[in-house]
Structure 1
Amino acid sequence: MGEAVESHLHVLSACKIFIMMTFLVVSAAVFLCPLAICSPCITSNLPPKPALIGHRGAPMLAPENTLMSFRKSLECGVVAFETDVQLSKDKKPFLMHDCGKNFLLRTTDVKDKFPGRDGSNNFTLQELKTLNAGKWFSRSDPFWTLSSLSEEERREADNQTVPSLSELLVLVKKYNVSLIFDLKNENNSTVFQSSDSFYTTETINKLGISPDKIWWLPPEYRHDVMKMEPGFKQVYNKQKEMLMDGGNFMNMNFSSLSAREISELRKSNVSVNLWVVNERWLFSLLWCSGVSSVTTNACHLFKDMSKPDWHLEPNMYKGIWIATDIVSLLLMIGLFLWQRRRLTGDWSTGIY
C-alpha cells in the first residue's frame, strides 16, 4: 500500500514538473515572439510618402475613364492619370477599359443608342461621343460611394460621355501631371497593331505634351515608339526586359514584389509603381517598404495621410514590448502567489 502511494506521489510530482516546464517554455515563447516579428513599418528611416496615380481617374467618386473622374483625382493631388486607350473606326484614340465582347456594354448605353452594333472598329469617335458613360455609375454604385456625392455631382456623373485621348491630354498639360496607359483593341486586351501606337503617339505630339510626362507602358512595339519619341518614359512589368533596355521604371501588381525586392530596386534607383492599391493598411505597408508610387481607385483615402498606419520607431516598439512583458510577468507572479496562499489557507483550515 505504501509503495502504491509513493508511486502515485512520484507520478504527481512528475506531472507538476512537466506542467511547470511547459508553462515556462510557452511563456518564454510568448515573451520573446516579438523578436521574430519583421515589419518594414518598424523603422526610424521612413521613406517618402508614395505618389498617387489615379486608376481610370477616381472611379470611387465618378464614372471611370471620364473627364469628371480624372478631375476628381486631381483633387487628391495625383501625379499621374492611368487610363486605357483604344482606336475608333476613324483612327481616333479614345478612353475605354473594356474591349472584346464586353466593349461599351458595362459603362455606356450603347445597347439603346446603337442596338446590334459592337466593336470599336464599328464606331467613329463622333458616334462614341454620343454615348452616355455615366448613368451606369449611378445605377450600380460599384463602390458603394454614391451617397458621398452631392446632388450636383450626381447630375454631373449622369451626363458624362466617352472622352477622347485629346481631351484627357488637355488636362495633362493644364495641370502638369503625367499619363500612363494601356493600349487595347476590340479583339484582345494586350495585342495591338503598330498603327495603334503610331496614332496614339501622333495625338500626344499634336497636343504639345512634354515627352517626359508620358509613361509608355505597352510592351508591344516599344522599341518603335522609343525611336519615334525617345523622350517618353518607358515603364516595364518585367525586370529582365527593363534591364536589357537600360530602363529604371517598374509597374507591377502589388503582390508581385516583396518588401526586400522593393528595397533592392529602390537602392538601384529604379522607380517602383504598384497597382491596384485601395486599402489603408496595404498603402501603409508599401509606404514603409519604399515604393515610389501606387495606382489606386481610392486616392481620396490616402491624400491626407501624414504617416503610415502602425508605423513605430524601433525604440518605441522595444519599449512597448518590454513594458508589456514586465506587466504580464508581474501579473503571472501575483496570480501564482495568490493561488499558493489560497491553497495554503485551504490546507490549514482543513478545506481541500
Structure 2
Amino acid sequence: MGAVVALTLLSWFVIQRVHQARRVGSKILLSLVFSIIVIAVYLSPLLILRHTPCLSDKIPPKPELIGHRGAPMLAPENTMMSFERSVACNVTAFETDVQISGDGVPFLMHDHDDFFLRTTDAKHKFAGRDFNKSGKLTLEELQDLNAGDWFLKTDPFYTVSQLSPEEKEMATNQTVPSLVQLLDLAQEKNISILFDLKNENGTNDTNIVVETILMSGIDPRLVSIFWLPPTQRSDVKKSAPGFKQYYNNISDMKKEGGTSLNLKYNSLNTDELRQLGLENITVNLWVVNESWLFSLLWCTGVSSVTTNSCHRFQKMTQPDWTLGPTQYTPIWITVDLLSLLIMSGLIYKSLLGESCMSCVLYHVLHCVI
C-alpha cells in the first residue's frame, strides 16, 4: 500500500517530465518504464500472499516457550529464582548452560574465561585469585558467590523496576546453582531441560554431565542436548539413548538421522521453515524477544522458541496480526483501482492543450497503466 501511494504521488511528476521531454523516443521510454514499475507494484501482492505466513486463514499452533536461562527479564539469569519464575510462564523447557567446577561437579553458568565475572561477585569475594577459568573454583566456592546483585545494579533488560521489594530481596540472595538443583526442579514440575555444554575438557566433561543426569533419576525423555562435539554425540547416544539431541545444521541432522534443530532465529527463511514442518522436523529458534518476531514465527509454524520474554509471550493468544486472503485480496485490488483512477485523472488533465502527437503518447501511457 505504501508503494502504491508513493507511485500515485510520483505519477504527476512523471507525467510532467513526459510532457517536457522534447524527443518522442524519450517520451515513450519514460512512459514505458514507469508503466512497468506501476504494473509490478500493482501485482506484487500475488507474491506477498505466497511468502507472508500471517496472510493465511490457517494459523499453526502456538510455539512452545523455552526459558532462556530461566526468565532473565524477571530474575538473574541461570539462578534458581530465574527458573522458578519461568515456571509461572508455562514454559515447556528450561534452557541453561552447564560447566564443570574444579572438583568435578556440573554447575549452571553461561560465561566463561574472563567473562565469568559478569554475573557474580567473584572478584570481590576471592580477591587476588585467578578467574581466567571458572573451572578453577570448587562447587562450594561457587555457591558462596552472590549471583544476583549484578542484576539489580546493571538492570540488563530495564525490568528491575517491575519487581516487588520482596522479589528484589530474593534476587540479591541468589547463588550459583548446581545442575542437580535444576534437574530436581525440572523433575518436580515435569518440565524438560535443554542445555549447552560449555565443553572445556572434552569427553571428560561430557561424561560427568551425562552421569550426573542419569544418577538424578529424571526421566531421560525430559532431557535434551543442544550442542555436543560431533565426536562425542555417538557416545552420548549409546550411554543415554533417551536424551533428545538437537543439531545446529540440517546436513548433520539428516546425516545422523536426527529430527530436531536448534538455530538462530534468522538462519532460515519462512519457506525453509515451512518445508521442515512438512518433514516433521522439530525446529527451535533462539533468542526471540520481540512480539512481532514471535508472531511471524508462530504463523510460520515453528515448534518452539527460546526466549527471555516468556512472561510476555505467555499472555499472547494469537499473533499480533493476521489477515486471511479473502480479506487481503479485496484490499489490495481496491487500493490498485483507486490509484489507477487517480492516475487516469491526472493523465486526462495533462492531455488538455497538448498537441496531437502528445495526445497519442499520453493515450499510450494511459492504456498501458
After TM superposition, the score normalised by the length of structure 2 is: 0.82
Change (3 A) 1:25 1:142: same
**1:94 maps onto 2:107 in alignment:** yes
In the alignment, structure 1 segments of 5+ residues that lack a partner are 1-7, 185-189, 344-352
1:143 aligned to which of 157, 162, 166? 157
Pairing 1:315-334 to 2, within 5 Å after superposition: 315-333=326-344
Give the aligned partner of residue 168 of structure 2: 154
- CA distance in 1 between partners of 2:20 and 2:179 (Å): 87
Structure 1 residue 295: Cα displacement: 0.7
Partner amino acid, structure 2, of 1:299: C
- CA distance in 1 between partners of 2:353 and 2:153 (Å): 68
Give SS of 1:60's match.
coil
**1:108 maps onto 2:108 in alignment:** no
Give the aligned partner of residue 32 of structure 1: 43
Determine if contact 2:227/2:248 at 8 Å carries over to the other structure: no
Partner amino acid, structure 1, of 2:122: V
- CA distance in 2 between partners of 1:144 and 1:268 (Å): 40
Partner amino acid, structure 2, of 1:41: C
Structure 1 residue 53: Cα displacement: 0.6
2:147 aligned to which of 117, 133, 153? 133
Q: Deviations over 1:81-118 (max 9, x none)?
A: 11011111221111011112222x00000011111222
Give SS of 2:44's match.
helix
Give SS of 1:57's match.
coil
Give the aligned partner of residue 306 of structure 2: 295
- CA distance in 2 between partners of 1:9 and 1:96 (Å): 70
Change (3 A) 1:178 1:10: closer
Give the count of matched residue pairs: 330
Change (3 A) 1:21 1:169: same
Change (3 A) 1:335 1:165: same
Partner amino acid, structure 1, of 2:313: F
Structure 1 residue 45: Cα displacement: 2.6
Determine if contact 1:183/1:192 at 8 Å carries over to the other structure: no
Identity level (%): 52
1:208 aligned to which of 204, 211, 217? 217
Determine if contact 2:21/2:27 at 8 Å carries over to the other structure: no
Determine if contact 1:135/1:157 at 8 Å carries over to the other structure: yes
RMSD, aligned CA: 2.6
Q: Deviations over 1:290-326 (max 9, x none)?
A: 2111111111221122222332211111121112223
Change (3 A) 1:338 1:300: farther
Determine if contact 2:221/2:244 at 8 Å carries over to the other structure: yes
Determine if contact 1:81/1:177 at 8 Å carries over to the other structure: yes
In the alignment, structure 2 segments of 5+ residues that lack a partner are 1-18, 355-369
Determine if contact 2:149/2:172 at 8 Å carries over to the other structure: yes
Give the aligned partner of residue 258 of structure 1: 269
Give SS of 2:73's match.
coil
Give SS of 1:241's match.
helix
Give the aligned partner of residue 307 of structure 1: 318
1:218 aligned to which of 227, 239, 244? 227
Structure 1 residue 194: Cα displacement: 1.9
**Greater length-normalized contact order (CA 8 Å, ≥ 6 residues apart):** 2
Give the aligned partner of residue 202 of structure 2: 193
Determine if contact 2:197/2:228 at 8 Å carries over to the other structure: no
Structure 1 residue 174: Cα displacement: 1.1
Determine if contact 2:108/2:179 at 8 Å carries over to the other structure: yes
Determine if contact 1:85/1:165 at 8 Å carries over to the other structure: yes
